[in-house]
Every structure is written in C-alpha cells, then in structure tokens.
Structure 1
Amino acid sequence: MEWREEGVVLGVRRHGETSVIAELMTRSRGRHLGLVRGGRSKAMRPVLQPGNSVMAHWRARLDEHMGAFALEPVASRAGGLMESTVGLHGVQLAASHLRLLAERDPHPRLYDGLIVLIENLNADRLTAGELMLRFELAVLEELGFGLDLARCAASGTKEDLVYVSPKSGRAVSREPGEPYHDKLLALPAFLTDTDRAADGETLRTGFTLTRYFLSRHVYEPRGLDEPHSRTSFISAACASG
C-alpha cells in the first residue's frame, strides 16, 4: 500500500535513536501518522517543524499499519511562525483542534482552512484571530456540532442577529432574544455581517462563544482540558494596542 500527497506538519515525537513519528494533515487522507527514518537528523529537523508543508510518500504492507513516510519540503513556514506569539501559539492551537478529529478521516474543508490560517498567522493579529475563530467554527461543524448563524431561530429573520442559543446553537435576533439576554450567548456582528470588522473586544466575544460549545460538546465529554495554546493565542490576538 502506498500514496503520495502534500500535507502540513502538525507535530512529531521521538521514536528510537534516530527516527520520529510524524503527524501530518492532508487534504484527502486527513490526519495521518507515519514513521520517518532519520527524522532526527540535522537535514530533517528543519523540515519536520509544525506549520511546514511537505510532500509525503507513505508506504505500508497493509493499509491499517502506521507505515513510513518519505518527506520532501514544499513550504517552510515554521521559522516565521516562531517569530511572533500569535504565530507560535496559533500553529499549536490549530494542531490541537485537528487532533480532535479521528485519524485518517478526510476533512478537505479543514485542510484548506488550515492552509489559509497558517499563511496569515503573522500578517495581522486581528486577521489571524478572526481566521482562527472561523476555523474553530468549522471544526465544530465537522465534528457534528455546527452553529446555525444564518437566521433567527425565533422569527426567521436574517437581520439584527445578536445572540446565540446555548441549547440549540442557533442565532437569535435582538427583539425576541432581549427578554432572555442573560441566558443567551453574545454573537459578534462580524460573524454575520461581512461589512463589520473584528476588533479585540468582539474577537474575545467570539472566542467565548466557541469556547462554550467546544467545552460542552468536545472537551468535557472527552475529559479534556482546553489547550493552553488557546488561552495564549487569544490573549495575543486580542491584545489592545
């Protein structure tokens, strides 16, 4: 069994004296592990950094085996990502989110979103923050817990959507939601209005929204803690000034 496809390095762990087990995200084969012989060499260590893209040639005797990777560099981003707090914690957080997915399940939408995200982590902190927030919404959707922010759950209107129901994950407009505002989650305007720009405050509101649903549907049922990289990324992306 073998295949060849481009992938993004999510992480590595040591295996024996000279090898590593690499974790890649690929478009058609999902999150995939494989042994890289000689992965701890001086030549391979710069290649096997989180955020880099590689061309992977995977081989195994049987499809269910972990198999081995032969990797060639395609795009080196890790050096630039490590130069900023947003970039460093952003690539770690993206990897943590992708580890919530079952291994080898294809998620092409998330792969495409990952490429856009990591190529913009150092562009602008607010842009990076918004892309990460939308990436979290996409992860929730791929896991089966997507939010419906298109129209009000009570009236059906697409206007003045300012709340989200914590029970249904559906948007609620201002008027029908006002009597229950203390029980509803805030919905930042930039998520439903492309003419509205995100700022530090509205980004924090958005991350509070995704935190609720990640905790309720993913972290708590699996006995997981929110990754430290998420707190660090949000602090850096939403910082004032």
Structure 2
Amino acid sequence: MEWREEAIVLGVKRHGETSVIAEVMTRERGRHLGLVRGGRSRKQQPVLQPGNSVEVHWRARLDEHMGTFILEPVELRAARLMEDGVGLNGIQLVAAHLRLLAERDPHPRLYDGLMVIVDHLDTPDKAAELMLRFEIALLEELGFGLDLERCAATGRRDDLAYVSPKTGRAVSREAGAPWHDKLLPLPAFLNTEGTNADAASLADAYRMTGYFLARHVFEPRGIAEPASRGSFLAAVDKSRAKLLP
C-alpha cells in the first residue's frame, strides 16, 4: 500500500534513537501519522517543523498499519511562524483543533482553511479572523454547525444581533430583545458583507465559538480548551497594541 500527497506538518514525536512519528494534515486523507526513519537528523529536523508544507510518500504493508513517511520539502514556513507569538501559538492552536478529528478522516474544507491560515499568521488581524472562521467550520465538520444566516424566530436575514446558546441559531435584534441578557452577541462581520472585524467584535466572536466548542466538544470529551487558544488571542492583542499610537 502506498500513496503520495502534499501535506502540512502538525507535529512530531520522538520514536527510538533516531526516528520520529510525524503528524500531518492532507486534503484527501485527513490527519495522518507515519514513521519517519532518521527524522531526528540535522537534514530532516528543519523539514519536520509545524507549519511546513511537504510532499508525503506513505508506505505500509496493510492499509490499517501506521506505515512510514518519506517527506520532501515544498514550502518551509516554520522559521517565519516562530518569529512571534501569533505565529507560534497559531500553528499550535490549529493543530490542536485538527486533533479533534478522527485520524484519516478527510476534511478538505479544513485543509483548505489551514493552508490559508499558515500563509497569514504573520498578519495578526487577518490571522485572528481566519482562525475564528476556522473554528466555525470545525464546529460544522464535527456535526455542531451554527446557523448564522437567518433569525430562528422570524426567518428574517437582516439585523441579526444574537445567537441562541441552546440552538446555535441566529436571532434578530427585535426578536431577541426580551432575552438579550441570555443570548450571545453575534458580531456583524460574520454575516454582513463589508463589515470589518474590530477588536471588540472579534472578542465577542471568540467567546461565541469558545462557548460552543466547550459545550459540544471539550466538555463531552472530558478535555480542556487548548492553552494555545488563550495564548494566541493574547498574542494577537499584544501585536495589535504595538500598532496603536
């Protein structure tokens, strides 16, 4: 059994004296593990850094075996990603999110989103919005998609201001007014074209996705929110503060 495909490195674990087990994300085969012989060598270590794009050649006697990887560099981004907290914590966060998926389960939409994220982690504001949209897509891929397009009570598509914490559906400002203190804010940039994602609206959006990730994913699995999530958001805030006059 064998295949070849481009992938993005998510992480590695030591295996024996000289080898590593590499974890990569592919478009057609999802998150996949493989043994890289000699992966701790000086030649291989720069290639096996999280965020790098590689060409993967996988081989195994049987499909259900972990198999071995031969990796060739395609685009080495890791050095750039490690230059600041946004890049470093961002790649750790997106990798942690992808580990919520079953191994070898293809999620091409998330792979495409990952490709965009790793190319923009050196732009904090852009990275923050892309990561937020990635979390929304992740919820959908896990079966807990949010409906932010129309009001759950009236069906209207305009002036959507809230999200129901029970259903994950949008609620218009008028329909949600009597229960506004029990609803989650819905930032306008998520469903209104041309609306910018400022710091306050991004914070509201991350509280929303964080709520649903905790309720549907982290708590049922008995796991904590990744520490890299808070570190990523703190790094974004720090980078944004440096740009203020």
TM-score (norm 2): 0.97
Identity of aligned residues (%): 68
CA deviations 1:21-61 (Å, max 9, x no partner) are 00000000000000000000000000000000000000000
Query: Does 1:41 find its partner at 2:41?
Result: yes
- Aligned-partner Cα distance in 2 for 1:186–1:235: 21
Which residue matches 1:209? 208
Which residue matches 2:93? 93
Residue identity opposite 2:181 in structure 1: D
Q: Is the 8 A contact 1:204 1:238 kept in 2?
A: no
Query: Does 1:118 find its partner at 2:118?
Result: yes
- Aligned-partner Cα distance in 2 for 1:203–1:233: 13
SS in 1 for 2:208: helix
Aligned length: 240
The correspondence of residues 25-174 of structure 1 with structure 2, limited to 5 A, is 25-122=25-122, 124-174=123-173
- Aligned-partner Cα distance in 1 for 2:236–2:112: 22
- Aligned-partner Cα distance in 1 for 2:227–2:211: 16
5+ residue gaps, structure 2? none
Q: Is the 8 A contact 1:200 1:237 kept in 2?
A: no
Residue identity opposite 1:89 in structure 2: N
- Aligned-partner Cα distance in 2 for 1:236–1:209: 19
Query: Does 1:4 find its partner at 2:17?
Result: no
SS in 1 for 2:193: coil
State the Cα distance separating 1:194 from its structure 2 match.
2.1
State the Cα distance separating 1:234 from its structure 2 match.
1.1
Residue identity opposite 2:73 in structure 1: P
Which residue matches 1:184? 183
SS in 2 for 1:12: strand
- Aligned-partner Cα distance in 2 for 1:195–1:14: 47
Q: Is the 8 A contact 1:152 1:161 kept in 2?
A: yes
Q: Is the 8 A contact 1:203 1:238 kept in 2?
A: no
- Aligned-partner Cα distance in 2 for 1:95–1:180: 37
- Aligned-partner Cα distance in 2 for 1:39–1:181: 54
SS in 1 for 2:97: helix
RMSD: 0.7
- Aligned-partner Cα distance in 1 for 2:118–2:132: 13
- Aligned-partner Cα distance in 2 for 1:68–1:225: 31
- Aligned-partner Cα distance in 2 for 1:165–1:47: 44
Residue identity opposite 1:20 in structure 2: V
- Aligned-partner Cα distance in 2 for 1:236–1:196: 23
Q: Which segments of structure 1 move beyond 4 Å, counting only runs of 4 or more?
A: none
CA deviations 1:196-222 (Å, max 9, x no partner) are 111111111100000000000000000
Q: Is the 8 A contact 1:199 1:238 kept in 2?
A: no
- Aligned-partner Cα distance in 2 for 1:7–1:92: 16
TM-score (norm 1): 0.98
